[in-house]
Homo-oligomer: A and B are copies of this chain.
Amino acid sequence: MQLDPTDRKILTLLQDDAQLTIKEIASKINLSVTPVHERIKKLEKEGFIDKYVSLLNRRKLGKSLVVYCNVTLDKQRKESFEDFNQAIVNMSEVLECSVVSGNFDYMLKVIVEDGEAYNQFYQQKLSALKSVLHISSYFVISEIKYTTGIEVV
C-alpha cells in the first residue's frame, strides 16, 4: 500500500497526539470526517499504526534513573543468546534491548528508581545471568531529547 500526502498528515498528527478527534484532524487537513475515519482504519489495518499508548511520567512514578548498558555474552555457551533474550523480555526495568554490531553484543536501556536500585538490578538480575560475560553502564545525567515520533516522509 502506498501512502499519499493526506495519509502522511494524519499519521504525523496522530503520532504526536492520539487524542485528537476525527473532527479535529479533519479540520486541520481540510477534509470531512468520513475520509479521515476511513483512512485511519485503513492505516491501522495495514499496520502503519502499531498501537496507541499513553506515555507516563517516569519521574512521577519514581523511576528517576535511566541507564544504558552494553552487554557482552559468553560465546562459548551455545544457548547464551536465547537464554539472555528470554530473561530480558521478562525484566520490567529493561525498556529497550537490541543486538548490535561492534565490540559488544547488546545495547540496553534500563530505568530504575535510583543508583541503589540500579545496583540491585545489576548485581542480582543482569550480571546474575549465566550467559553474561561483561557489562558497561552509562548513567543518564540529562535527557536532551526523547520522542516516539518518526519522520513520515
Contact = CB atoms under 8 A, between A and B. Distances in A.
Interface of A: 11, 14-19, 46-58, 60-63, 66, 68, 85, 88-89, 92-102, 106-107, 111, 136-153
A52 B139 contact: no
A149 B100 contact: no
A74 B151 CA distance: 29
Contact of A19 (B15, B16, B52, B58): B52
Contact of A98 (B11, B58, B85, B140): B140
B61 A98 contact: no
B68 A48 contact: no
Nearest to A143: B98
A139 B62 CA distance: 31
Contact of A53 (B55, B58, B107): B55
A152 B56 CA distance: 9
User: 5 closest pairs, A vs B, by CB?
Assistant: A92-B151, A99-B142, A100-B138, A97-B145, A18-B52
Contact of A17 (B52, B97, B106): B52
B55 A15 contact: yes
Contacts of A143: 96-99
